[in-house]
Structure formats: C-alpha cells, structure tokens
Amino acid sequence: MQGNPYLNYQGAFGNLTETDKKQHCSLRIQTWVYIHSGISIVTSLLGITLGSILLVRTEWHEKLFLYRLTLAYLRRSDPSKYWIVYRVFFGVWIAVHSLHLVTIVLTVIGVHKTNLKLLKPQLFVLVFQIGLFILGISSLFVYSMTGTRVAWLALFVVLFHTLFASTNLYLLAKFHRFLDEKLMILRDILSAQAKSVHFKDDSSF
C-alpha cells in the first residue's frame, strides 16, 4: 500500500516537519489577524459613527421600540437624570470603540514586528468589550421577553459587534499563543547557543 502520493512527495511542500506545519499555521493565523484587523477598524468606525449620531441627534432614538417600551417611561419620570445617563452611555460607547480602534493599530504594529506586548492591549479591550456586549444582550433579551415585541434593531446592533469582537478575540488569542511559543523557542535556542559558546571558551583553556 503506497498511501497518499502527496504525503510521500519529497519536493518543497512534501514531508513537512512539525515546525514547518506550525510555522505555516502561524502564517495563516497572522494573515487572518491582518484581515480581521481591517474588518474591526470598519466595525469600530461604525460604532463610533452610530454613537456620535445618536448623541447629536437624540430624537432618533425615540423611534426605537426599546424607547417606547421602557426608555420613554424613564424619561418622563426624571428627564434630567435620563439625559445624563443617555449622554454617559453613548459617551462610553464611543470611548470603548475609539479605544478599540487604537489597540487595533497597536496590534497591526505588534504582528508586523512580532512584539507580544503590543497584542495585549487589544486582548484586554476585547474581553471588556465582549463583557459589556453580553450584559447588553442579556438586558435586551429580558426587555424583549417582558414586552410585546422584540427589540430587533438594538439586538442586531449589539449582536453584530459581539460577533466580530468574539472572532477577533479568538484569532488574536490564537496568534498570541503561537507568537509566545515562537519567542520561547527562540529564547531557548539563544540560551543553548550561549551555553555552547561558553563551554567552548572554557574548554579552550
């Protein structure tokens, strides 16, 4: 039984070692990180734009089902507090997306320079962001279940950002692990070479 001829091929792509496979996989993840970084920049800009519009054009949020379901009642009960919370909410929304935008740029630089430290800011921001999104989804789900209709638009916006943040976190964590292993192997090699040179120097005496 000869098996798969492609596995027995001795050319440039045949008989890949474990290191070659890891390097190839790491390269693929790196490419996907670049692609997803571009997508994340777009989603962050969309989030900033949406937050800015709703912060400036406050009347737009009155068209939402969520407003008619709950927010209108809160607004009537205490208008001043309502508008403070409203502005704080969208201010935080814009700030989180802006911060994410900055960390995406740092990630691209970190991936290009294979700098592990530059990947960490986006990891922290994504975990925080996803936590907020999950809280938002849970709240919207409860509101929708207690109301007569589902707040589809608000749910779609939050789920949209949650999806891309989650996939971004997965890819970034995956690449972070590969890069960490790569740097660890490199440190071991350099350490072994340093010991070898030191041993040769000692033996020469």
Angle at the Cα of 24 (from 23 to 29), degrees rounded to 5? 95
Give the per-residue pLDDT at 71: 79
Whole-number Å distance between alpha carbons of 84 and 79: 9
Q: What is the pLDDT of residues 7-41, one digit of tens each?
A: 333 433 344 444 545 555 556 778 888 999 999 99
Three-state SS letters, 128-175: HHHHHHHHHHHHHHHHHHHCCCCCHHHHHHHHHHHHHHHHHHHHHHHH
Give the per-residue pLDDT at 194: 61
Can you give the residue ranges of every domain in the chain? 18-198
Whole-number Å distance between alpha carbons of 161 and 17: 39
Q: Alpha helix locations (H) across 57-119?
A: 65-66, 72-77, 79-113
Q: What is the pLDDT of residues 126-165, one digit of tens each?
A: 999 999 999 989 988 887 777 667 778 888 989 999 999 9
